[in-house]
Amino acid sequence: MSLELSKRIQRLKTSPIRKLTPYSEQALAKGKKIYYLNIGQPDIETSNLFFEGVAAYKGKILKYEHSAGLKELREKIKKYYEKYNMNYNIDEILITSGGSEGLQFTLNSIFDENDEILIGEPYYANYNSYFDVLNIKCNAVRTYAENGYHFSSLEELEKNITKKTKGFIFSNPSNPTGVIHTKEELDNIAYLAKKYDLYIISDEVYREFVYGDNKCISFGTYKEIEDRVIIIDSISKRFSACGARVGCVISKNKAFIESVYRQCQARLAVPTLEMIGAIALYDVADNQLEKYRTMYEKRRNFIFNEFKTIDDIIVKEPEGAFYSFVKLPVENAEAFCIWLLSEFDVDNETIMLAPGEGFYATEGLGRDEVRICYASDENQIKKAMNILRQGLKEYRKIKQI
Amino acid sequence: MSLELSKRIQRLKTSPIRKLTPYSEQALAKGKKIYYLNIGQPDIETSNLFFEGVAAYKGKILKYEHSAGLKELREKIKKYYEKYNMNYNIDEILITSGGSEGLQFTLNSIFDENDEILIGEPYYANYNSYFDVLNIKCNAVRTYAENGYHFSSLEELEKNITKKTKGFIFSNPSNPTGVIHTKEELDNIAYLAKKYDLYIISDEVYREFVYGDNKCISFGTYKEIEDRVIIIDSISKRFSACGARVGCVISKNKAFIESVYRQCQARLAVPTLEMIGAIALYDVADNQLEKYRTMYEKRRNFIFNEFKTIDDIIVKEPEGAFYSFVKLPVENAEAFCIWLLSEFDVDNETIMLAPGEGFYATEGLGRDEVRICYASDENQIKKAMNILRQGLKEYRKIKQI
C-alpha cells in the first residue's frame, strides 16, 4: 500500500480529552462562553521565582546541558524528597521533559510488545497513548464510583496478573478519579510486586494535593521493594508550571535508571531555561504549597456540596488531586458532553467535560461517566455545576431517561 | 528473569559520542585542558533576541500550550520557508522538542519492527539510537572519504532497496561528513522514492551552513514528490540555541502529519518559554546569519589547510555543516582517541574526537575514521590540529604503524 504508516501509529488514537475540541470551537464561534472542566490546567499563577530565576540566567550560549538534567535541579529534587524521608542520590534522579517523557521512557525500558501491565481502571487517559504505541496490554482491574474508585481487594488485583505481567502503574493521588489509595492497598500492591516480580510505576505528581483525613503514602517509602519502585514526578501541578515541561524519573534500580539515561542521551537534553526556572520553583515555601493545598481542598468541598444538589449522579467525596470521576444518569456521556457544547447553554454559557470512556481499557466501560476537573475558582465551579444540573435535567427530559 | 528490561532497551547502546566521557573526565582530573572537537556545540553566542523575547513574556500561568506548538512560532517558520520558495501552511508544521523528537516521531510513524531504511553511511550517530529502539534495519549504502562521502551512483542506492524498505533518511548538509549532496544525488533519491514508494526524511538543520560554490537544495522544493517528503528542522545550529530544544517536523502528507500530531498530543506540549524565545530568533537578520556562515566558512578553510599539513590522513574539503569526517592512518581510531585523552598532551593540552565506528551501521566500518567538529575559533582549531598532528606521529611511532 502506498506510503502506509506503521502499525504502531495506527493503534494510537486521538486523545479522548481533545476529541471534543471541534465542538468547543463551534460553541466559541457561536459566541458561547465555556467553562473548561475537561483539562487539568491549574488556574494558579506560577510563582514569580520561576520567571526571576530565568531572568537571572547568565549564560551567553544556550548550549546542550547534561542529558540527565542540570545537577543543581537534581539536587533540589533530592532535598525535596528528603522532606518526605526518602533518600535518593542524584544519580537516581533523571530530569525529563514533563512527567510524560518520564512515563514513556519508563514504559519503553520495561515492556516489550504484548507484555502486560496491571492497572486499575479508570486511569489517566494519556497512559493509553503510551500503551497503544508500545502495544502493551492492560490487566485492568475495575474500580467503581460507588466505592470511590478504591481497589476492592488483594484477590481482585491478583487474579488479573498473568505470566506476561511486567509491572503495575497508577497515579496516586489519582488523575482521573481523585482517589488516594490507602496503606492497605499499597501493601497489597507491594506484596504482589514481590510475589510476581513486577515493577511498580508510581505516578505521584499530585502528591501534595491531599484533603481531609486522607494520607498519601509514597511508594518511595517501601524500602523492601526499592529495586522495583519507579517514581514519576513533575513540577507541573505542584507549582502550577505545566508549560515548563519539567519532570523526572526516580528509582534505586541501577539497571533501570541506566536504561532511561540512554534514552535521555538519545534526545540529547531537556531545555535549559525551563530547568533554570524549575530550580527556583523548588524554593517555593512550604507554607505557600500548603496555601495551594488548602485552596484546592476548599474547592473540593465546594464542588462536592454542589454534586449533592444534582439528581441521580453517583460520586464519592474526592480525596486528592483536583478531579472527580462522576457517574451520570445518562446512557452515553460523550453524547451528553457534545450536546452540552453544541445545543445547550445557560445565559449563553456552557461547560466542557471529559467523557469517561477514554479512561478505561475495557471496551464499553465508562460510557456513563465523566471526569470533572475543579482547578478553577468557586465562582466558576458554581456556575459550571448549575449548567451541569440544568443540562442534565433538560437532556433527560429530551431523551426521556 | 528478575526485573528484566525490554528487548527494545537492551538494543539501545550508550551514545558513541559520549562513550569517551570517562576518559575526558580523567584527563580533566589530571589538570589537562581538552579541546572538544567531538560534539556539535557551536561557540557562537545565542542572539539576545532570544533572552529579550523570553523576558518580555507576560503570561502569569505557565500553562500547557497547544500540542502542535505556538501558532506564532509556526507562522514564523512558514515565513522562513517562504524565503526559500517553499510554501507550507502552518498545519503542515509541528513544533517538537528539538529535531531529535521530530526524528523520533517521524520514525515512529513510518517504521514497524524489522522494516528497513535506506541510508548512506556514515550518518549521524544518534540515528542509531532511534533505529535500535524501533528495531529498524539499515539498508546502508557505503560512502567514502576519498569521494567526499557523496553517493557514487543511482545503482549503488537502488541495489540496497528491498521490499521492506519504507524510507530514506539523510542529513544534508551532513552531520557527520560535511558533504552537501548534489542536485543529481537528490534527483536520484527522488526517482527511487517514487519508484519504490519510499518516504524521504530530510534532516536539514544545517541548511545555512554551505561553503564555496556548493549549493544545498532542500527536498521541500521537489513538488512532484511532496507527499513523501518530511523535513526535520531545528533552531539549534542555525541560531546557536541547542539548549532551547526547539525543532519541527514539516510535511505536506496530511496522514503523516496527523500521525505525528497524535504523538504531540500524547506528550501534551513543548515548553512555553523556549518557544517564545524561538519566535524571537526567527527575527535574527539575514545578514547576521550570513555572518555566522562566513565565520564557519573561514573555519572550514582554516581546518582544511591544517589537515593538509598532517601526514597520511584522507579527507576532502568539507562542503557544509561544521564537521569533517577524517580517515586516519591508524587501525583503531577509538583506541587512538582514548590514548589522546589518557596518555598524550602537548603542553598539558589534548583533544577529544568522536570515533567513526558509531556513525556506521555495518559492523567493522569506520574503525579508522573520526568526526571532527570545527565549531570553535581558529586559534583553538590551530592548537587542536597541532595536537592531532603530533599525537598521530607519536602514536604511529609507538604502534609502529
DSSP-assigned beta bridge partners for residue B323: B373
Check whether B268 has a pLDDT greater than 60: yes
**What pLDDT is recorded for position B133?**
95
- The shortest C-alpha distance from A317 to chain B (Å) reads 27
CB contact under 8 A, B9 and A109: yes
Q: Decide: helix, strand or coil at residue A152.
A: coil
Cite the beta strand spans of B116-213 per DSSP E: 116-121, 137-142, 165-171, 199-203
Alpha carbon distance A65, B351 (integer Å): 20
B275-317 pLDDT tens trace: 999 999 999 999 999 999 999 999 999 999 999 999 999 999 9
Angstrom CA distances, B117 to A262, B151, B382, stand at 22, 16, 39
CB contact under 8 A, A244 and B64: no
Angstrom CA distances, A24 to A234, A243, A312, B61, B321, stand at 29, 22, 26, 22, 46
**What pLDDT is recorded for position B1?**
45
Cell of A286: 512550604
Alpha carbon distance B269, B258 (integer Å): 15
pLDDT band at residue A196 using 50, 70 and 90 as cut-offs: very high
Tell me the CATH architecture of domain A7-45+287-396.
Answer: Alpha-Beta Complex (3.90)
Residues whose CB is less than 8 angstroms from the CB of residue A156 and which lie 6 or more positions away in sequence, other chains included: A141
Domain A48-281 annotated CATH 3.40.640.10: yes
A60-117 pLDDT tens trace: 999 999 999 999 999 999 999 999 999 999 999 999 999 999 999 999 999 999 999 9
Contact B166, B140 (CB under 8 A): no
Residues spanned by CATH 3.40.640.10 within chain A?
A: 48-281
B78-114 pLDDT tens trace: 999 999 999 999 999 999 999 999 999 999 999 999 9
A1-45 pLDDT tens trace: 478 999 999 999 877 777 898 999 999 999 999 999 998 899 999
**B241 — contact with chain A (CB < 8 Å)?**
yes
CB contact under 8 A, A110 and B5: yes
Closest in B9, B166, B243 to A269, CB measured: B243
> Residues 167 to 196 of A: which have CB under 8 A from any B CB?
none
> Residues 62 to 121 of A: which have CB under 8 A from any B CB?
62-65, 67, 97-98, 100-101, 104, 108-113, 115
Q: C-alpha dihedral over B45, B50, B52, B53, to 10 degrees?
A: 180
Q: Decide: helix, strand or coil at residue B74.
A: helix
Report chain B residues whose CB lies below 8 A from the CB of A12.
259, 262-263, 266
Among all residues of chain B, which has the CA nearest to that of A21? Answer: B66
- The shortest C-alpha distance from A138 to chain B (Å) reads 17
Computed over every residue of chain A, the mean pLDDT equals 96
A328-364 pLDDT tens trace: 999 999 999 999 999 999 999 999 999 999 999 999 9
CB contact under 8 A, A9 and B46: no
Contact A75, A276 (CB under 8 A): no
**What pLDDT is recorded for position B157?**
97
Check whether B264 has a pLDDT greater than 90: yes
A267-322 pLDDT tens trace: 999 999 999 999 999 999 999 999 999 999 999 999 999 999 999 999 999 999 99
**What pLDDT is recorded for position A70?**
98
Report chain A residues whose CB lies below 8 A from the CB of B259.
5, 9, 12
Question: What ipTM was reported for this prediction?
Answer: 0.95
Residues spanned by CATH 3.40.640.10 within chain B?
A: 58-281
**Chain B interface, best mutation among A14, A62, A94, A136, by max B CB count within 10 A:** A62
Closest in B63, B108, B111 to A133, CB measured: B108
Residues whose CB is less than 8 angstroms from the CB of residue A265 and which lie 6 or more positions away in sequence, other chains included: A67, B14, B15, B18, B129
Check whether B38 has a pLDDT greater than 50: yes
Report chain A residues whose CB lies below 8 A from the CB of B271.
97, 243-246, 271, 273-274
**What pLDDT is recorded for position B228?**
97
Cell of B361: 551501521
**What pLDDT is recorded for position B14?**
79
Among all residues of chain A, which has the CA nearest to that of B270? Answer: A245
Check whether B239 has a pLDDT greater than 80: yes
3-state helix, strand, coil in chain A (%, to 5): 45, 15, 40
Cell 459566541 sits at which residue? Answer: A31
Check whether A220 has a pLDDT greater than 60: yes
- The shortest C-alpha distance from B66 to chain A (Å) reads 10
**What pLDDT is recorded for position A1?**
45
Check whether A260 has a pLDDT greater than 50: yes
Residues spanned by CATH 3.90.1150.10 within chain B?
A: 7-45+287-399
**A56 — contact with chain B (CB < 8 Å)?**
no
Angstrom CA distances, A344 to A29, A33, A377, A397, A399, stand at 14, 11, 22, 13, 14
Closest CA to A327 of A346, A344, A314: A314
Check whether A400 has a pLDDT greater than 90: no
B198-215 pLDDT tens trace: 999 999 999 999 999 999
**B292 — contact with chain A (CB < 8 Å)?**
no
Alpha carbon distance B142, B335 (integer Å): 23
- What's the CATH number of domain B58-281, 3.40.190.170, 3.40.640.10, 3.40.50.1820, 3.60.15.10? 3.40.640.10
Q: Give the global pTM.
A: 0.96
Alpha carbon distance B20, B338 (integer Å): 7
Among all residues of chain A, which has the CA nearest to that of B105? Answer: A9
Report chain A residues whose CB lies below 8 A from the CB of B373.
none
Alpha carbon distance B138, B116 (integer Å): 6
AA identity, residue B238: R
**What pLDDT is recorded for position B379?**
97
Check whether A171 has a pLDDT greater than 60: yes
CATH number for the domain whose boundaries are B7-45+287-399? 3.90.1150.10
**B377 — contact with chain A (CB < 8 Å)?**
no
Contact B149, B143 (CB under 8 A): yes
Check whether B335 has a pLDDT greater than 70: yes
Report chain B residues whose CB lies below 8 A from the CB of A166.
4
